Protein backbone atom coordinates (compact mmCIF):
# COMPACT_ATOMS: atom_id res chain seq x y z
CA UNK A 1 0.00 0.00 0.00
CA UNK A 2 1.37 3.50 -0.84
CA UNK A 3 2.75 5.57 2.01
CA UNK A 4 0.52 8.26 3.45
CA UNK A 5 1.61 11.89 3.07
CA UNK A 6 3.64 13.46 5.86
CA UNK A 7 1.10 14.80 8.35
CA UNK A 8 -1.41 12.00 7.75
CA UNK A 9 -1.13 9.04 10.09
CA UNK A 10 -3.11 6.10 11.37
CA UNK A 11 -3.93 6.80 15.01
CA UNK A 12 -6.02 5.02 17.61
CA UNK A 13 -9.36 6.55 18.63
CA UNK A 14 -11.27 4.59 21.27
CA UNK A 15 -9.28 1.52 20.33
CA UNK A 16 -9.96 1.82 16.60
CA UNK A 17 -7.16 2.72 14.19
CA UNK A 18 -8.22 5.48 11.81
CA UNK A 19 -6.72 8.00 9.42
CA UNK A 20 -5.93 11.26 11.16
CA UNK A 21 -4.40 14.71 10.74
CA UNK A 22 -3.15 17.09 13.41
CA UNK A 23 -5.34 20.18 13.80
CA UNK A 24 -8.38 21.82 15.31
CA UNK A 25 -11.61 19.75 15.06
CA UNK A 26 -14.21 20.90 12.54
CA UNK A 27 -17.24 18.60 12.34
CA UNK A 28 -17.41 16.78 15.66
CA UNK A 29 -14.83 14.17 14.70
CA UNK A 30 -13.02 12.21 17.44
CA UNK A 31 -9.76 13.73 18.67
CA UNK A 32 -6.81 12.42 20.67
CA UNK A 33 -3.50 14.07 21.59
CA UNK A 34 -3.96 16.86 19.04
CA UNK A 35 -4.94 14.49 16.23
CA UNK A 36 -8.38 14.43 14.58
CA UNK A 37 -9.93 11.37 12.97
CA UNK A 38 -10.52 11.58 9.21
CA UNK A 39 -13.77 9.83 8.33
CA UNK A 40 -13.60 8.23 4.84
CA UNK A 41 -17.40 7.95 4.83
CA UNK A 42 -17.57 11.75 4.81
CA UNK A 43 -14.58 12.41 2.56
CA UNK A 44 -13.88 11.09 -0.94
CA UNK A 45 -10.18 11.89 -0.62
CA UNK A 46 -10.15 10.12 2.74
CA UNK A 47 -11.77 7.13 1.02
CA UNK A 48 -9.06 7.18 -1.66
CA UNK A 49 -6.41 7.00 1.07
CA UNK A 50 -8.31 4.30 2.95
CA UNK A 51 -8.60 2.18 -0.19
CA UNK A 52 -4.87 2.44 -0.90
CA UNK A 53 -4.94 4.59 -4.02
CA UNK A 54 -1.58 6.10 -4.94
CA UNK A 55 -2.37 9.82 -4.82
CA UNK A 56 1.26 10.90 -5.10
CA UNK A 57 0.80 13.25 -2.14
CA UNK A 58 3.81 13.60 0.14
CA UNK A 59 2.72 16.55 2.32
CA UNK A 60 3.42 20.25 1.95
CA UNK A 61 2.03 20.57 -1.58
CA UNK A 62 0.21 23.61 -2.92
CA UNK A 63 -3.41 22.55 -3.47
CA UNK A 64 -6.36 23.85 -5.45
CA UNK A 65 -9.48 22.27 -3.94
CA UNK A 66 -12.62 22.45 -6.07
CA UNK A 67 -15.90 21.90 -4.25
CA UNK A 68 -14.79 22.69 -0.70
CA UNK A 69 -18.35 22.83 0.73
CA UNK A 70 -18.36 23.33 4.52
CA UNK A 71 -14.69 22.42 4.85
CA UNK A 72 -14.90 18.82 6.04
CA UNK A 73 -12.23 17.39 3.74
CA UNK A 74 -10.35 20.55 2.83
CA UNK A 75 -9.70 21.18 6.53
CA UNK A 76 -7.80 17.87 6.68
CA UNK A 77 -5.95 18.78 3.49
CA UNK A 78 -4.89 22.13 4.92
CA UNK A 79 -3.63 20.29 8.03
CA UNK A 80 -0.91 18.50 6.02
CA UNK A 81 -0.54 20.47 2.77
CA UNK A 82 0.93 23.86 1.95
CA UNK A 83 -1.17 26.78 0.65
CA UNK A 84 -4.66 25.42 -0.03
CA UNK A 85 -7.06 27.38 -2.22
CA UNK A 86 -10.62 26.25 -1.46
CA UNK A 87 -13.21 27.04 -4.16
CA UNK A 88 -16.89 26.81 -3.21
CA UNK A 89 -19.85 28.14 -5.21
CA UNK A 90 -22.61 28.28 -2.57
CA UNK A 91 -22.63 31.15 -0.05
CA UNK A 92 -24.07 29.15 2.89
CA UNK A 93 -21.33 26.50 3.12
CA UNK A 94 -18.74 29.17 2.36
CA UNK A 95 -19.67 30.88 5.63
CA UNK A 96 -18.79 27.66 7.46
CA UNK A 97 -15.61 27.38 5.39
CA UNK A 98 -14.55 30.88 6.46
CA UNK A 99 -14.84 29.83 10.11
CA UNK A 100 -12.69 26.76 9.42
CA UNK A 101 -10.08 28.96 7.73
CA UNK A 102 -9.84 31.28 10.74
CA UNK A 103 -7.92 28.50 12.52
CA UNK A 104 -5.84 27.48 9.50
CA UNK A 105 -3.40 30.03 8.13
CA UNK A 106 -2.73 27.98 4.98
CA UNK A 107 -6.40 27.74 3.95
CA UNK A 108 -7.77 30.37 1.55
CA UNK A 109 -11.55 30.17 0.86
CA UNK A 110 -12.83 31.49 -2.48
CA UNK A 111 -16.54 32.03 -3.17
CA UNK A 112 -16.25 31.14 -6.85
CA UNK A 113 -17.63 28.76 -9.48
CA UNK A 114 -15.19 25.96 -10.33
CA UNK A 115 -16.64 25.94 -13.87
CA UNK A 116 -15.26 29.47 -14.35
CA UNK A 117 -11.56 29.36 -13.40
CA UNK A 118 -10.97 32.71 -15.08
CA UNK A 119 -12.77 34.33 -12.12
CA UNK A 120 -10.04 33.22 -9.68
CA UNK A 121 -7.02 33.04 -11.98
CA UNK A 122 -5.75 36.30 -10.50
CA UNK A 123 -5.71 34.74 -7.01
CA UNK A 124 -4.59 31.14 -7.44
CA UNK A 125 -0.89 30.80 -8.13
CA UNK A 126 0.26 28.96 -11.22
CA UNK A 127 1.87 25.53 -11.07
CA UNK A 128 -0.07 24.15 -8.10
CA UNK A 129 1.02 20.65 -7.18
CA UNK A 130 -2.41 19.11 -6.75
CA UNK A 131 -6.00 19.70 -7.81
CA UNK A 132 -8.53 17.93 -5.60
CA UNK A 133 -11.97 17.99 -7.24
CA UNK A 134 -15.23 17.04 -5.53
CA UNK A 135 -18.00 18.98 -7.26
CA UNK A 136 -21.66 17.98 -7.62
CA UNK A 137 -22.38 19.15 -11.16
CA UNK A 138 -22.71 17.97 -14.71
CA UNK A 139 -19.55 18.19 -16.79
CA UNK A 140 -17.14 17.06 -14.08
CA UNK A 141 -14.47 16.18 -16.66
CA UNK A 142 -14.89 19.62 -18.21
CA UNK A 143 -14.31 21.26 -14.81
CA UNK A 144 -11.06 19.32 -14.45
CA UNK A 145 -9.98 20.26 -17.97
CA UNK A 146 -10.76 23.94 -17.45
CA UNK A 147 -8.72 24.03 -14.23
CA UNK A 148 -5.77 22.15 -15.74
CA UNK A 149 -4.27 25.59 -16.49
CA UNK A 150 -3.24 25.87 -12.83
CA UNK A 151 -1.56 22.46 -12.51
CA UNK A 152 2.19 21.99 -12.68
CA UNK A 153 3.51 19.70 -15.44
CA UNK A 154 4.25 16.96 -12.91
CA UNK A 155 1.18 17.72 -10.77
CA UNK A 156 -1.72 15.45 -9.89
CA UNK A 157 -5.48 15.60 -10.31
CA UNK A 158 -7.39 13.75 -7.58
CA UNK A 159 -10.94 13.57 -8.86
CA UNK A 160 -14.04 12.13 -7.22
CA UNK A 161 -16.66 11.54 -9.93
CA UNK A 162 -20.28 11.60 -8.72
CA UNK A 163 -22.32 9.53 -11.17
CA UNK A 164 -25.71 10.83 -10.02
CA UNK A 165 -24.63 14.45 -10.41
CA UNK A 166 -23.47 13.78 -13.96
CA UNK A 167 -26.57 11.91 -15.18
CA UNK A 168 -29.18 10.45 -12.84
CA UNK A 169 -30.73 8.36 -15.61
CA UNK A 170 -27.56 6.61 -16.82
CA UNK A 171 -25.79 3.69 -15.19
CA UNK A 172 -22.74 4.66 -13.09
CA UNK A 173 -20.54 2.49 -15.32
CA UNK A 174 -21.63 4.45 -18.39
CA UNK A 175 -21.05 7.75 -16.63
CA UNK A 176 -17.60 6.77 -15.43
CA UNK A 177 -16.62 5.57 -18.90
CA UNK A 178 -17.74 8.85 -20.48
CA UNK A 179 -15.95 10.96 -17.87
CA UNK A 180 -12.73 9.00 -18.31
CA UNK A 181 -12.92 9.38 -22.10
CA UNK A 182 -13.45 13.15 -21.84
CA UNK A 183 -10.73 13.53 -19.24
CA UNK A 184 -8.17 11.81 -21.45
CA UNK A 185 -8.19 14.78 -23.84
CA UNK A 186 -6.02 16.62 -21.32
CA UNK A 187 -4.91 14.12 -18.68
CA UNK A 188 -3.20 10.77 -18.41
CA UNK A 189 -5.19 8.60 -16.02
CA UNK A 190 -2.84 6.79 -13.65
CA UNK A 191 -5.38 4.99 -11.49
CA UNK A 192 -9.12 4.75 -10.99
CA UNK A 193 -11.14 2.89 -8.43
CA UNK A 194 -14.74 2.68 -7.32
CA UNK A 195 -15.29 4.21 -3.88
CA UNK A 196 -18.31 2.00 -3.14
CA UNK A 197 -16.96 0.86 0.22
CA UNK A 198 -17.49 4.43 1.46
CA UNK A 199 -19.45 6.36 -1.21
CA UNK A 200 -22.14 4.87 -3.44
CA UNK A 201 -21.82 5.52 -7.19
CA UNK A 202 -18.50 7.37 -6.96
CA UNK A 203 -15.25 6.81 -8.82
CA UNK A 204 -11.85 8.01 -7.59
CA UNK A 205 -9.36 9.02 -10.29
CA UNK A 206 -5.67 9.91 -10.06
CA UNK A 207 -4.35 11.63 -13.19
CA UNK A 208 -1.57 13.91 -14.40
CA UNK A 209 -1.47 16.46 -17.23
CA UNK A 210 -0.65 15.09 -20.62
CA UNK A 211 2.76 16.17 -21.83
73 a known binding residue? Answer: yes
150 a known binding residue? Answer: no
3-state helix, strand, coil in the chain (%, to 5): 25, 30, 40
135 a known binding residue? Answer: yes
Q: Which of 95, 96, 90 is nearest to 113 (CA)?
A: 90
134 a known binding residue? Answer: yes
92 burial type by CB count under 10 A (0-12 exposed, 13-18 middle, 19+ buried): exposed
89 a known binding residue? Answer: yes
Query: From edge to edge, which strands make up the β-sheet containing 35-37?
Result: 8-13, 16-22, 35-37, 31-32
108 a known binding residue? Answer: no
114 a known binding residue? Answer: yes
113 a known binding residue? Answer: yes
88 a known binding residue? Answer: yes
Residue stretches of the annotated binding site for S-adenosyl-L-methionine: 72-73, 88-89, 113-114, 134-137
Residue stretches of the annotated binding site: 72-73, 88-89, 113-114, 134-137
Amino acid sequence: MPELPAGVERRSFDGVERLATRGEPVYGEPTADGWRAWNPDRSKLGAMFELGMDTGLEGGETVLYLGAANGTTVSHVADFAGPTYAVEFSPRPTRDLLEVAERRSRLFPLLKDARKPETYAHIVEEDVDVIVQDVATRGQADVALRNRRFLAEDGRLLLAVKARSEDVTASPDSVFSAVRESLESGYEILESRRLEAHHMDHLGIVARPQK
